Every structure is written in structure tokens, then in C-alpha cells.
Structure 1
Amino acid sequence: MHTWHWQTWDGRPYLTCSLLDRWPHGFFTQHFQSLSPQELTPILQPDAKTYRVRQVHGDRVLKTCDIDPVPPPPATPSLLPADGLITAAPQESVWVCTADCVPALVADSQTGQVAAVHAGWRGTAAQILPQTIAQFQREGSAIADLRVALGPAIAGAVYQVATAVAAEVGATLQPRLTAEDRTDLLTSLGQLPDTPILPDPEPGRVRLDVRRVNALQLAQLGLQPEQVAIAPYCTYQQPEYFFSYRRTGQKQVQWSGIVSL
């Protein structure tokens, strides 16, 4: 339904999604590791200001008017803690860094406003993406006008977690059950079409598809399938393109960003 395209800059590959064609954006690969968001922004839009936050695996969403633009290198930015960042004006680029966590880029087709969201399992359990959508709605956005692209992240087929982790994340999809109702919760989630919970041979473990959980959270808010795109790429399984903390144990990241219209 939505297509993902490899682009190149200076011989280095990065991804774009047809769902966000109107907005300058990119899910950058490990080949750009030497470049900061301030240096990546001109690839998308030379005149845009650059904004980012200090990611903390939480549910806090900030607006660009709440923070200062990131200064050019070699200055060290002073970053506020948050995991979602929404633009307040045109020509603003917002950025998140990820390895195995989910980078989500959100756009409003009517206002041109955009957001960048960092959604690991903890942030997903804290419903960082629904919190971001709620902020869009407070700004006047309609659900039908939103577009969300979920970029490269670790795939559910290879992401082993404890059942307690899966239950904490899955509880966001089953409001009648809590994470303490672990067995019933995981059984219920396992019966969903295209379930985010997959079996694992190790006792007390399952495989968790975090991007699928985020897509289901968006569906519960009323976003239709055509408003959400999921990248067909796995950070763990494709080392030629992406860093993966689960694969190497090293804290290396790739950046994803989008510019408001």
C-alpha cells in the first residue's frame, strides 16, 4: 500500500516513505553515523531549523517552541528530556535517534505540522505515540489528516523479551486487563489478527513486535491502515544498513527526521 524508497546522498543510503512524500524526511542509515542532526537537516531542507530532545524512554512530548534550536557544531546542545517532539512553525526539522527502538515520523496533511517520536518498548508501554497524537489533536488536528511512518526497528521475529515486558506493553491494547493478568493478556493478544506476540522456545519468554503494537495503538485512536506505514526493514537482521544494540551491545544510533511545511 505504501512504498519505501532508498535515496542516496553523497553515495550513502537513506529511506523515505511514500506516505510522507509531501514532507522532506529521511530514516538515515548507519552510513551517516558521523553526521549530527544539524548536519543532516540541510540534506532534507537547507533553510530549516534543527530541534531534538534528550530521549529517556518516557511519555513526554514537547513542542519546538518549548526548546531552543540545536546550535551548529562544535557547540554542545542543552537538551530537555522527552521522547516526542512536535513542530510549532514551518521550516522546522525534528529528529530522533534509534538503534532497535521504533522511530516514528508523524505529519498532518492539513496543517503541515510534523513530529518525531522515539518508541522503544518502555515508551510504547507508556503510550508515547498516542500521547503525541493527543498533542496534535490539542493543536486542532483531525485524526483523519494524520500520517504516521514507523521506520526501521528490530522485528518481532527476532526480538525476545520476558513475558512481563510483553504484558506491560500489551496491556495498552487491552484496557480490561492489566499487566498482572499476564497469562490472560498474552493469550488474548495472541488471538489478534497479525498478533504482536510471537512464541519463543525459552520458558518465560516471547517475541514482541513493538512496531505492530504501535500500529494497533494508532488503530484504537481511529487511524485507518492507509494512514500508517511500517518499514519492511529490521535493524537486527540487516547489519549492512543499521546499528542494533541487541545485536552488538554497542550504543550506536541512526537518525530519523522530518521537516514541517
Structure 2
Amino acid sequence: MSVRVRRVTTTRAGGVSARPFDTFNLGDHVGDDPAAVAANRKRLAASLGLAEDAVVWMNQVHSANVAVVDGPRTTAVDQTDALVSGSRRLALAVVSADCVPVLLADARAGVIGAAHAGRVGAQLGIVPRTVEKMVDMGASVAGISVLLGPAVSGRNYEVPAEMAAEVEAALPGSRCRTAKGTPGLDIRAGLARQLADLGVKAVDIDPRCTVEDTRLFSHRRDAPTGRLASLVWLE
């Protein structure tokens, strides 16, 4: 029997952080007052109806490392960019400010995953590694649904032509042209194609561009700035 899957992405609004992290910064590695970040994370958990230690955070490092978590934690999972779990009411959190938050779930199997897919992690294969770990825990590829959260769009992600070609070789479908007609990357398009090639049939893409939407944090637009959180959990 399927369980209910919840997916949430925050915005900049509703927190206590001062500029330039105003106001709902959930990243603890960007130079914000730690007390403000802690208050924001406490507010987030309460608004989701979860205990504070039931929101599991990562110390993200732009890797292809995937960790399995099976219960509440009071500290972040270190040196990883994806979490997988089969536990109910345990939210897996990704922080981002242009990179792609990837929220995965097989509701029938009761297995979820959350991955941080920036250019480097996507190129290294963080998403296929996450799918593989979910399958190891009983998920089926065909049963997995995915949300690719807010991120920088291809029209605003300009990179050198050599970098675009390098990423395209590892993540086909990601190379594009920016709004200025220069070489660019659309990481979400590449991930959507990668997931389809893996056999994942249900992929939704949040249309918001972090650079364009000032309600969202964007490192490319505003550095230094805060971080959004994207979370997935099983009710």
C-alpha cells in the first residue's frame, strides 16, 4: 500500500536572518548568524509538523556520495550530497541557491531520496547513484517520482564553451544557449533526460529560476546570500 509523500521548497520569506541573508536562510555555511539559522530551522520543522531532529541536513560538498539515514539526527550528515531513507516522518533536506534540489520517492515501496545536484555533482552522477541506492532499499525505478526544484535556468547560466561541452558529455541534454546567445547549461534538462534514460517516468520540474525570481536565494545573483531548503518525507 502506498504511503503519502510530501515535498516542500522554502522561499526567502518568513525567517529572522538579517541582510544579506534575509530572511529565511536555512544554510549554516554561508556566514549567517548561527542563532538565526537555528531559529529558522526550528521554525521550518514546526511549520511542517515535524520534530527538529526529524529534519535531516547534509554538509554538502559537490560529490557523488549518498548516505542512508534511518532515524532522527541532531547533527548533519557530513561529506555527502544525497540522502536516502525508508523511515516515516523523517524529512530529508537539501539546501541550494542555484543548484538543483532533487526530491525522489517511491510511495509504494516507502523509499525516498534527496540529492543536491550542482554542475559538479550532476556531472559526477549524484542522481543515478541516488536512484541506485533507493533500488537497493526496495524501490523500483518505474515506481520512482521526482521533483527537480527551483534552480538557475539555462537562459541565465553562462559558462565557457569548453565547460558546456564537458558537462554535456557527462550529462547529455544539459548544454544550451543563454538569453544572450552564449554557451550555457540547463542542469535540470540534463537531469530530466538522465532520469528518463534510467527508466524514471514521473519527473516534474519546478519552473522557477533562482536568478530571476527575487523571492528565492541565488548565489549567482546576490552572493553572499542565504540558502533555500527543499525537503521530502513520508507521512
Pick aligned residue for 1:217 from 174, 186, 194: 194
> 2:160·2:183 contact (CA, 8 Å) conserved in 1?
yes
Q: Structure 2 vs 1, CA of residues 201 and 84 (structure 1 numbering), >3 Å: closer, same or farther?
A: closer
| Other-structure match for 2:72 | 69
Distance between the aligned counterparts of 1:133 and 1:170, measured in 2? 21
C-alpha deviation, 1:22, in angstroms:
3.2
Distance between the aligned counterparts of 1:41 and 1:108, measured in 2? 23
Distance between the aligned counterparts of 1:259 and 1:78, measured in 2? 17
> 2:67·2:80 contact (CA, 8 Å) conserved in 1?
yes
C-alpha deviation, 1:199, in angstroms:
2.8
| Other-structure match for 1:92 | 90
Unaligned runs of 5+ in 2: 14-23, 26-35
Distance between the aligned counterparts of 1:199 and 1:90, measured in 2? 42
C-alpha deviation, 1:228, in angstroms:
0.2
Of 30-39 and 163-172, deviating more is 30-39
| TM-score of the pair, normalised by structure 2 | 0.81
> 1:61·1:85 contact (CA, 8 Å) conserved in 2?
yes
| Other-structure match for 1:152 | 150
Q: Structure 2 vs 1, CA of residues 165 and 251 (structure 1 numbering), >3 Å: closer, same or farther?
A: farther
| TM-score of the pair, normalised by structure 1 | 0.73
Pick aligned residue for 1:198 from 158, 173, 176: 176
> 1:24·1:44 contact (CA, 8 Å) conserved in 2?
no
| Other-structure match for 1:22 | 4
| Other-structure match for 2:140 | 142
Deviating 4+ runs (over 4 angstroms)? 200-203
Q: Percent identity?
A: 31
Pick aligned residue for 1:106 from 96, 104, 107: 104
| Other-structure match for 2:205 | 230
C-alpha deviation, 1:210, in angstroms:
0.7
Q: Larger Rg: 1 or 2?
A: 1
Distance between the aligned counterparts of 1:259 and 1:43, measured in 2? 14
Q: Structure 2 vs 1, CA of residues 222 and 78 (structure 1 numbering), >3 Å: closer, same or farther?
A: closer
Distance between the aligned counterparts of 2:73 and 2:161, measured in 1? 39
C-alpha deviation, 1:86, in angstroms:
0.9
| Number of residue pairs the alignment of both structures matches | 210
Deviations 1:183-234 (A, max 9, x none): xxxxxxxxxxxx532235989x51110111111110110112xx00000101
> 2:54·2:90 contact (CA, 8 Å) conserved in 1?
yes
Instruction: Give RMSD over aligned pairs.
Output: 2.3
Of 148-157 and 244-253, deviating more is 244-253
C-alpha deviation, 1:36, in angstroms:
4.0
C-alpha deviation, 1:129, in angstroms:
0.8
| Other-structure match for 1:9 | none
What aligned pairs does 1:144-183 form with structure 2 within 5 A after superposition? 144-173=142-171
